[in-house]
Structure 1
Amino acid sequence: MENVPSPRVVITGVGVVTPLGNDPNKLITDLRGRASGVAALTQVPRGVLSIDFGAEASDFSGDISDYGPMDKKLQRTIRKGSKVMCREIEMGVAVAQLALTDAGLTPEDRDRDRTGVLYGCDYIMSLPEEFAVGIGKCTDDEGNFDFTKWGDQGKPEINPLWLLKYLPNMPASHIAIYNDLRGPNNSITVREASAGAAIAEAYSTISRGHADVLIVGSTGSRIHPLRSLHADMQETLAANRSDPTKMSRPFDAQRDGSVLGEGAGAMVCETLEHAQARGATILGEIVGYGSSAVGPAFGKTFLQTAIRNVLRAALGDEPAENIGHIHAHGLGTVECDAQESAAIEAVFGSADKQPPVTTAKGNLGNLGAGGGMVETIASLKALGGELFPILNCDSLSDDCPINACVDGSTAAGSQFINVNVTPQGQASAVRIRSFS
């Protein structure tokens, strides 16, 4: 049997929704300019949780104008469909439409049976308001809930389509339906590692010859009445500061936790042959990836081991000196940053031998499942120019032996590795280079 080389997989369009706006070019400019998206929360009541600040995607309203230019028919369809989309799903659909526009991928340019969608997401929590009326009908004057009333009086008050607003496979479903994309369709839900895992699966799917084009994205929000409460109870969040833009401090000696954020990103991935045939502008090429899961049962250094595994896998046979920069997870917690730094040192050597290391979380906070895609797009936009520095890393911590990028004169290089990890030890990494 003849050995046929796998097709090269390239990126031809991107779209973002972030706490620094919804334009990829503005995003990289703001990151280089040390702008912060952390401000007072508006979607979560202040004075209730331990924190009153977060990184909201305040420029995203859900209005149809946020989805970019489209014909009137598609606008009407999406506007109607938004009735069964929560904010996370709306953001996910919007960045896909923005990426399609950026790629110039029109219906005439694609085979709908070989164009699909692959999306990363997280579990999405319902808003309490969905159940308020029904619960009220089952509650007496003293505030006691009577479960025996729920079936007859409470449940009928719930919108029968409410679940469609919160299912994590719905971003990929909506995008495929709106654009008549009949190729492979998949959803990956591994929290912060979702974006890297989605890119890796997209690369594999296209390399196997199962698709010519895939819309690849991820969306997430940690700013939500219940989700924020869960994070406050279960995770280490950065303490309030008089200047909230100083709260997220990746790898800094005074870091004390992560900052809640929200956002989404998407890219159009296609075979090189397909992209060249339609005259597309090629932004970069996917050339490596890694995935690993190392749980707490492994021991105290489980995060370090998971990150080390995916860095090695994404690097592959590529000489370490060819990596222009590493876009670290950079969560901002004492433990995670220390273990990530140790993993980088294990793979690349001491700080003087490492590529420059940066992260956008100082500017954007933790966007959950959406973070890895936004970070990947930021690094992609930086290639060939200056790398954005780590915001608020004023004094690199002794337990973070990395080549931290803290100034604006560092070159981003021609390729990078982006890495993300969940608190449970699920990690993903991707390696992307400039196209040549």
Structure 2
Amino acid sequence: MSSRRVVITGLGLISPLGNSPESLWNALSSGVSGVDVLQRVPADHLTTDIGGECREFSGDIADFGEVEKKLKRNIKKSLRLMCREIQLGVAAAQFAIADASLGDHHDPSRVGTLFGSDYIITEPAEFASGVANCLNDDHEFDFSTWAENGLTKVEPTWLLKYLPNMPASHIAILNDLQGPSNSLTVREASANLAVAEAMTIIQRGSADAMIVGSTGSRIHPLRTVHVVLQEALADRNAPGIDGDATKACRPFDSHRCGMVLGEGAGSIMLENLDSAQQRGATIWGEVVGYGSSLVAPGGVPDYETAFENVIHGALETAKVTADEIGHVHAHGLSSIAVDQQEATAIRKLLGETPVTAAKSYMGNLGAGGGMVELIASVLAMKNDQLFPILNYDSPDEACPINAVAASTNPGDQFLNLSCTPQGQASSVIVRKFE
């Protein structure tokens, strides 16, 4: 690797706590939760009826920020080929690009795109007309008629709305970004891994800047059913929650009982320090280290070892010691098992380093969570104030971390952690730029 330094020059997000860094920070610094009763999906048949929804995002062109006339027209044309998750990602990226103020101060061939996502599921409504057209006299679906009567009723371009490489594709095409482009589908680990790959692309001189982000959702007519069947979700009637949706997500608390559904996207502009300084860009922070690890012997995730590995990896690539980390932004899923193993790994390698978790304010945003959480910690460093873990009322002895229970100093660099249910963990270290 060269000695090129990689800095953050733009921030953008769509979240349950608002669609700007300012709204996100206002919520975090004042202890406001974005979790409420679900509105986007019917919950009568589910085991949960709460989640962190992006209620201020409708998919209207106004939700993509202030853009010039030609770009606005092109985004409007492209919207019909974007499902909600892709719209969230594209909007977050447009905000980050605007915040970076690249303008005409860049060579399009030297700016790339790297975006992470979950696997994106088609909404059942895409096939509703086709299915209805294949019902027999007994109102049973007749698959033998699908090719002739059903498929013809499906929009020919439906698949383009759900391909996980489409966020990066739309962003690059809309903004004429001709540099390296890639898409990662590593669920919750995607954000940190996207940052790591983009960082190394810039370091080796393959690009001068990269728009990097991730988008995800656990709130979806079909995906939510999958989550309910596969993962432990918070019960808002459990002790300590007592019916209050805002108290349901409580990482590392002894009364935690599962994760909370969420949706959202985040994006940052990464840039070579020299080019950023030459054009007088605002610098939010510097990316200095990263780690990646999958540990699942026999198919059983070992979260503790995976977290240990990515903490080690990030410290080594950043060439820093544990006592130089100002705070840890934990994955903080609010799961009994994952929180315990994450806490054990943090305690073992980072000791008394303060730990926070923004999921307590908004739930699990899927692939989008890691990036929104990274942005939250960048804002904490910028404001010299680390927000506490929301709903951390009753410490769990099995989670021996220094959990942030009141505002404190965020330090000059932080470690961001994420992990998938399959045991794929990722990490990034961001340093305050001075």
What secondary structure does 1:94 align onto?
A: helix
2:304 maps to 1:307: no
Q: Deviations over 1:319-356 (max 9, x none)?
A: 2221110000000010000000111122123xxxx210
Map of 1:20 onto structure 2: 17
Partner of 2:33: 36
Matches for 1:350-369 after TM superposition, within 5 Å: 354-369=352-367
SS in structure 2 opposite 1:383? helix
- Which string of whole-angstrom CA distances, capped at 9 and with x for unpartnered residues, describes residues 166-215 of structure 1? 00000000000000011000001100000000000000111111000100
| Alignment deviations for residues 129-179 of structure 1 (CA, whole Å, 9 cap, x no partner) | 000010111112323211110111100111110000000000000000000
Deviations 1:101-120 (A, max 9, x none): 111111x1111001010001
Note if 1:207 corresponds to 2:208.
no
Q: Match of 1:334, as an amino acid?
A: I
Q: Which moved more, 1:195-204 or 1:64-73?
A: 64-73
For 1:141 and 1:278, the matched residues in 2 are separated by 69
Q: Is the 8 A contact 2:12 2:95 kept in 1?
A: yes
Which residue in 2 is equivalent to 1:102?
Answer: 99
- TM-score, normalised to structure 1's length? 0.96
Q: Deviations over 1:83-118 (max 9, x none)?
A: 010000001000111001111111x11110010100
Equivalent residue for 2:398? Answer: 399
Q: After superposition, where does 1:324-403 map in structure 2 within 5 Å?
A: 324-349=326-351, 354-384=352-382, 385-403=384-402
Partners of 2:35 and 2:370 in 1: CA distance? 18
Tell me what 2:89 maps to: 92
- In structure 2, stretches of 5+ residues that fail to align are 238-242
Q: In 2, Cα distance between the equivalents of 1:380 and 1:314?
A: 17
SS state at 2:46 partner: coil
Partners of 1:66 and 1:311 in 2: how far apart?
Answer: 36
CA 1:298/1:83 → structure 2, altered by over 3 Å: closer, same or farther? closer
Q: Aligned-pair distance for 1:299?
A: 5.6
**Contact kept? 1:39, 1:244, Cα under 8 Å:** yes
Task: Count residues in correspondence.
Answer: 426
Mapped to 2, the partners of 1:65 and 1:279 lie a distance apart of 28
Amino acid at match of 2:249: S
The SS at the match of 1:288 is strand
Superimposed CA distance per residue, residues 354-409 of structure 1 (whole angstroms, 9 cap, x where no aligned partner): 2100000110100000000000000001005110000011011111000000112x
The answer to whether the aligner puts 1:270 opposite 2:271 as a matched pair is yes
Alignment of 1:274-293 (within 5 A): 274-293=275-294
Pairwise CA distance, 1:5:
3.6
**Distance across 2 between alignment mates of 1:314 and 1:142:** 60
The 2-side partners of 1:240 and 1:324 are apart by 33
Pairs within 5 Å for 1:394-433: 394-408=393-407, 410-433=408-431
Does the Cα contact within 8 Å between 2:2 and 2:204 map onto a contact in 1?
no
Distance 1:25 1:296, change over 3 A: farther
The Cα of 1:34 is off from its aligned counterpart by 1.0
Where does structure 1 lack aligned partners over 5 or more consecutive residues? none
**What is the rounded CA distance, in whole Å, between the counterparts of 2:365 and 2:199 in structure 1?**
23
Q: Which residue of the other structure, out of 165, 187, 198, is the alignment partner of 2:161?
A: 165
Alignment partners' CA distance in 1, 2:137 and 2:281: 65
Describe the superposition over 1:28-76 as per-residue Cα deviations: whole angstroms up to 9, x where unpaired: 2211211101111111102110001110000111111111111111101
Whole-Å Cα distance in 2 between the matches of residues 225 and 358 of structure 1? Answer: 31
Q: 2:321 aligns with which of 304, 319, 326?
A: 319
Counterpart of 2:53? 56
Cα distance, 1:295 vs. partner? 1.3
Aligned partner letter, 2:320:
E
- Structure 1's consecutive aligned runs of 4 or more residues displaced over 3 angstroms after TM superposition are none
Name the SS for the 1:62 alignment partner: coil
Instruction: Determine helix, strand or coil for the equivalent of 2:222.
Output: helix
Aligned equivalent of 1:47: 44
Paired AA for residue 421 in structure 1: C
- AA matched with 2:310: V
Q: 1:73 and 1:221 mapped to 2: Cα distance?
A: 30
State the one-letter code of the partner of 2:246. Answer: T
Whether the 8 Å contact between 1:303 and 1:340 is mirrored in structure 2 is yes
In 2, the alpha carbon distance for the partners of 1:269 and 1:140 equals 56
Q: Distance in 1 between matches of 2:201 and 2:268?
A: 15
Letter in 2 for 1:368: G
1:335 partner amino acid: A
Distance 1:100 1:141 in 2: 55
Judge which range, 238-247 or 331-340, deviates more.
Answer: 238-247
Q: What is the match of residue 257 of structure 1? A: 258
* 1:297 Cα deviation from its structure 2 partner: 2.0
Deviations, residues 227-248 of structure 1 (Å, cap 9, x unaligned): 1000000000001342100110
Task: Tell me whether 138-147 or 209-218 shows the greater mean CA deviation.
Answer: 138-147
Q: What is the rounded CA distance, in whole Å, between the counterparts of 2:140 and 2:332 in structure 1?
A: 45
Q: CA deviation at 1:284?
A: 0.4
Q: Distance in 2 between matches of 1:277 and 1:294?
A: 43
Within 2, Cα distance between the matches of 1:281 and 1:55? 30
Match of 2:402, SS? coil
AA aligned to 2:140 is: N
Identity of aligned residues (%): 55
Aligned amino acid, residue 387 of structure 1:
L
Counterpart amino acid of 2:199?
Answer: Y
What code does the residue aligned with 1:326 have? V
Tell me, in whole angstroms, the C-alpha distance in 1 between the residues paired with 2:178 and 2:320: 35
